[in-house]
Structure 1
């Protein structure tokens, strides 16, 4: 039968067919995964209009500037953080470093709390200071921050609670200090996940999270988020667009799916971790337990004032034990995986070197410190596992 002169040929039909997503009936519970580099427009006028507006509005114009799946996750994170808008980054560290690139220039000064994520210190040493930005670290509790401010300070960066030992600072007081000197306050909120802690509502201008952790919740995706107030938004958006920063829509979908159960998971992490923490605090081999929800924690009063709960992270110092014995303790655990991350469904353990992670306080005299992430396993089984490990240390006489 002769081909209709108006009917496209096979190769054209294959390219053009099946591109409509409009269907009749209901709609999916979750937004679709939109895998797209190219966005199509009805006319050159529409394309040019979108290009004019995209620096100030969130528009789907090209994959490097985000896509509808990522936009849906941005909205969830902005709601969690109580912020104006959010940008997504391939890793938590990428999100942190973008904050410094967006808001600082050579000759500026930044204050950074002593308890920040260690890879951020590596960024400071290998890029930020060689680039001409001067950095001063201040005590994790913020007690000496005022004395570290200079006329060139443009950014105060904190992690609260801090990495490894969960120190707390008075964030509203630091916000007032920063703003009185014309500086911005940025906070790493990975611990708080937007559920237990909301830095923007406490006065911060910028909040950063490693969505790799609790937002994802399943240890299978890497991502970072930065949420800001409306006033602080534009430099972040401009620098992110200039560097072509984007995330995979598949990764955005996984994190978006993880957020659906975030509240339920965190409640279990908190319940299980507190059972383990109270048990550890009663063990003769444990010198101290680091958990802001415990009354004896140095920042407990601030935790009560500013936080809505805790999570699965706890650390503890072993008493009269060598570093080698601490490593054997972790090696001997059967239910705790040995890993440096946290925030997934599983329990993890690792020995941490706090002395090398702090410069404002001297931790060289402390005993070995073990960090646990308490997962969703039955806490009674986890306690049995820890008891076996502590018993083995005692039997060896270490």
Structure 2
């Protein structure tokens, strides 16, 4: 089955759709039972997608979990109220005091904060590694290292990691491997196919696709799914049935949306690569992006997210650029239908092991607007930027 077809059919068994096209929206806290025997049977196994209590999920949640697990090729999927919650609770499910984790230096900022402000206080230490280190990560593995965490491409600076080499090094030392796959989304990249144990996504982004739901998902292999499922349940992780329904609706159109995001972003990225103010473009599909060779080898496609590095600049110029734009709005997140922009004058506080010897970084998410309108908007915005230098 092609992935486009899979997105339409996944999670739509008759027990969830009950005779209509979409899985039913089933809200519940309390589930009632007709007999003690029925109650005991439902309580036996948290993994059997049986109604038991609202926190375990309803048929709406189960449909989404089955669909995401099928998309990522895993044994099961846990749901969380945000992508940050998915990362935090997946880590908490597998580490204890005295453990050590390896985290790429290009990590999503909330991931870094969680390691430095929460895990450190619990006695779990973190070593940040150069995202381009590949097999060299072996030299950083300690006797108490428990997890190797990856994010490919990395947040903001978009380094694509050599996932097979990293996984091989980790497995040689018995580590659990996790990867933030929000960019790869299960269509463009499937980490479990490359030996990764757990794939995590901020479903807020491309799965939902409309900037109106916060959600995280974590998909594990058969070996690690029981632990992830149980510990996430014990940590109280759940999301609303309404949000699960919205994620299912977004999932159905994700493939066609991604194609347009990809096409438009490549057009904008290529235009920016020729702009006199731009030092280089960090789009994984372009040779100027670190790790581009791994992207070509491992990914099936890109999307709307990339960054540019400017030759020079100051904060006033960056602020003027953002305020001059009409179609690009300044806001956190990405993956929705709208175009967004964020800026970083320096990478101070966002890197600790890898230096930054370039100019200001501008991260763009190319939405579903007409691409010529977006290019015109960036052109006039960069003119304003130049006037402030």
Distance 1:241 1:297 in 2: 39
Tell me which residue corresponds to 2:367: 375
Tell me which residue corresponds to 2:348: 355
Q: TM-score, normalised by structure 1?
A: 0.91
Gaps of 5+ in 1: 1-21
Q: 1:274 aligns with which of 251, 266, 271?
A: 266
Tell me which residue corresponds to 1:323: 315
Distance 1:108 1:210 in 2: 25
Q: 1:314 aligns with which of 306, 313, 321?
A: 306
CA deviation after TM superposition for structure 1 residue 283, in Å? 0.4
Distance 2:212 2:123 in 1: 36
Tell me which residue corresponds to 2:290: 298
CA deviation after TM superposition for structure 1 residue 397, in Å? 4.9
Q: 1:108 aligns with which of 99, 104, 123?
A: 99
CA deviation after TM superposition for structure 1 residue 214, in Å? 0.4
Tell me which residue corresponds to 2:27: 35
Q: 1:243 aligns with which of 235, 239, 249?
A: 235
CA deviation after TM superposition for structure 1 residue 41, in Å? 1.9
Work out whether residues 318 and 326 of structure 1, in 8 Å CA contact, stay in contact via their aligned partners in 2.
no
Equivalent residue of 2:128, what SS?
Answer: strand
Tell me which residue corresponds to 2:216: 224
Tell me which residue corresponds to 1:185: 177
The number of equivalent residue pairs is 371
Bigger radius of gyration: 1
Distance 1:123 1:295 in 2: 33
1:57 aligns with 2:48: yes
CA deviation after TM superposition for structure 1 residue 217, in Å? 0.3
CA deviation after TM superposition for structure 1 residue 179, in Å? 1.3
Q: 2:187 aligns with which of 195, 200, 215?
A: 195
Superposed CA offset, 1:105-155 (max 9, x none): 111111111111101111112210110111111111134411110111111
Work out whether residues 355 and 362 of structure 1, in 8 Å CA contact, stay in contact via their aligned partners in 2.
no
Superposed CA offset, 1:173-217 (max 9, x none): 111111111111000000111111111101100000000000000
Tell me which residue corresponds to 2:6: none
1:139 aligns with 2:123: no
1:120 aligns with 2:116: no
CA deviation after TM superposition for structure 1 residue 338, in Å? 0.8
Equivalent residue of 2:107, what SS?
Answer: coil
Distance 2:271 2:58 in 1: 47
Work out whether residues 153 and 183 of structure 1, in 8 Å CA contact, stay in contact via their aligned partners in 2.
yes
Superposed CA offset, 1:323-347 (max 9, x none): 2201211111011011121000000
Distance 1:180 1:154 in 2: 12
CA deviation after TM superposition for structure 1 residue 393, in Å? 2.4
Equivalent residue of 2:93, what SS?
Answer: helix
Q: TM-score, normalised by structure 2?
A: 0.93
Work out whether residues 308 and 361 of structure 2, in 8 Å CA contact, stay in contact via their aligned partners in 1.
yes
Gaps of 5+ in 2: 1-13
